[in-house]
């Protein structure tokens, strides 16, 4: 296998591997902070950006008449337009929910990544394109599973939205303190007055990944002076 690969191919594979490692480090940092732009999205962007850069640099020297590196044209001009165009397609799958959470980022990145793989293959970079696909699949499927099993505690938690209705405003502080004792952390609190004189309290709570919303509901239901409870993942 090594004999089939050229020294240039080995260098480009090393660049892709390096981009994967660096993207992994950035993605883990984002994941630990529970950002919408997480591990998989960062890895896709990192790998495909490296791949497109390789294609952009190397293809200019493969066109006829460029042996002396006296380039008189931009052979990647069309490819640049493809990447820009596909970006609009990717934007179409990004959704923002009413609770300000964002979904579809990884899908959008994969749409953009697929365009990069196609450009690389069309330019004749078969080895690099194949390696890019392998690294992408590992990044999106394998690495998250491994991290989920052996990762740090912060990767084994999830966020839930808890909405409760309280009749007396004097009870809000005690109720929140009681909820904080039953979960890992309360990350955000919003309090709103209702027209009927009651008070709506919305909390972003952090719980273990294995905890179901029904368990949180049953646990919070034991707290007195709460009129209604809604738990949403």
For 71-102, b/e burial (b = at least 16 CB within 10 A) is eeeebbeebeeebeebeeebeeeeeeeeeeee
pLDDT of 126 > 80? The answer is: yes
Considering just the CA atoms, what is the radius of gyration of the chain in Å? 25
Q: Are residues 109 and 166 in the same domain?
A: no
Residue 1 is predicted with a pLDDT of 44
Total of domains in the chain: 2
Q: Are residues 77 and 13 in the same domain?
A: yes
Residues 6+ apart with CB under 8 A from 158: 206, 207, 208, 209, 211, 233
Of the listed ranges 141-155, 162-176, 206-220, the one predicted with least confidence: 141-155
Residue 2 is predicted with a pLDDT of 47
pTM of the model: 0.60
Residue 10 is predicted with a pLDDT of 83
**Angle of CA points 22, 159, 103, to nearest 5°:** 60
Task: pLDDT band for 178, please (50, 70, 90 cuts).
Answer: very high
Q: Are residues 17 and 50 in the same domain?
A: yes
Which of 86, 118, 151 is the endpoint of a domain?
A: 151
**Residue whose token pair is 């599973």:** 145
What mean pLDDT comes out for the span 198-202?
93
Q: Are residues 198 and 139 in the same domain?
A: no
Range of the domain at 198: 156-232
Residue 75 is predicted with a pLDDT of 62
Q: Are residues 147 and 160 in the same domain?
A: no
Residue 101 is predicted with a pLDDT of 60
Residues 6+ apart with CB under 8 A from 185: 205, 206
Which of 151, 169, 191 is the endpoint of a domain?
A: 151
Residue that wins the pLDDT comparison between 188 and 32: 188
pLDDT of 112 > 70? The answer is: yes
Count CA atoms within 13 Å of residue 209 on its CB side.
10
Q: CA 203 to CA 191: how far, in whole Å? A: 9
Q: For the chain, what is the mean pLDDT?
A: 80
What mean pLDDT comes out for the span 25-54?
79
What mean pLDDT comes out for the span 63-88?
64
Q: CA 221 to CA 202: how far, in whole Å? A: 15
Which of 151, 170, 199 is the endpoint of a domain?
A: 151
Rounded to the nearest angstrom, the gap between the alpha carbon of residue 139 and the centroid of all alpha carbons in its chain is: 11
What mean pLDDT comes out for the span 184-196?
89
3-class DSSP state for residue 223?
Answer: coil
Residues 6+ apart with CB under 8 A from 109: 40, 41, 44, 45, 48, 90
pLDDT of 4 > 70? The answer is: no
Task: pLDDT band for 218, please (50, 70, 90 cuts).
Answer: very high
Reading the block at residue 220, the tokens are 């919070």
What mean pLDDT comes out for the span 186-194?
90
Predicted confidence (pLDDT) per residue in 139-168, tens digit = 888 887 887 777 666 667 888 899 999 999
Position 126 in a domain:
yes
């Amino acid at each position: 296998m090594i004999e089939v690969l050229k020294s240039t191919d080995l260098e480009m594979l090393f660049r892709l591997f390096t981009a994967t490692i660096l993207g992994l480090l950035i993605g883990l940092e984002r994941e630990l902070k529970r950002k919408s732009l997480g591990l998989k999205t960062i890895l896709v962007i990192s790998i495909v950006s490296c791949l497109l850069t390789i294609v952009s640099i190397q293809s200019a020297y493969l066109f006829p008449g460029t042996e002396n590196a006296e380039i008189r044209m931009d052979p990647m001009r069309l490819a640049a337009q493809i990447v820009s165009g596909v970006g609009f397609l990717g934007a179409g799958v990004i959704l923002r929910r009413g609770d300000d959470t964002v979904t579809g980022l990884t899908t959008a990145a994969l749409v953009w990544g697929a365009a990069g793989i196609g450009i690389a293959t069309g330019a004749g970079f078969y080895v690099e394109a194949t390696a890019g696909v392998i690294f992408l699949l590992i990044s999106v499927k394998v690495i998250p599973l491994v991290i989920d099993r052996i990762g740090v505690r912060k990767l084994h938690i999830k966020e839930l939205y808890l909405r409760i209705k309280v009749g007396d405003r004097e009870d809000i502080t005690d109720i929140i303190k009681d909820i904080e004792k039953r979960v890992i952390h309360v990350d955000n609190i919003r309090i709103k007055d209702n027209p009927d004189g009651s008070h709506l309290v919305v909390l972003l709570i952090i719980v273990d990944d294995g905890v179901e919303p029904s368990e949180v509901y049953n646990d919070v239901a034991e707290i007195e002076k709460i009129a209604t409870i809604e738990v949403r993942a």
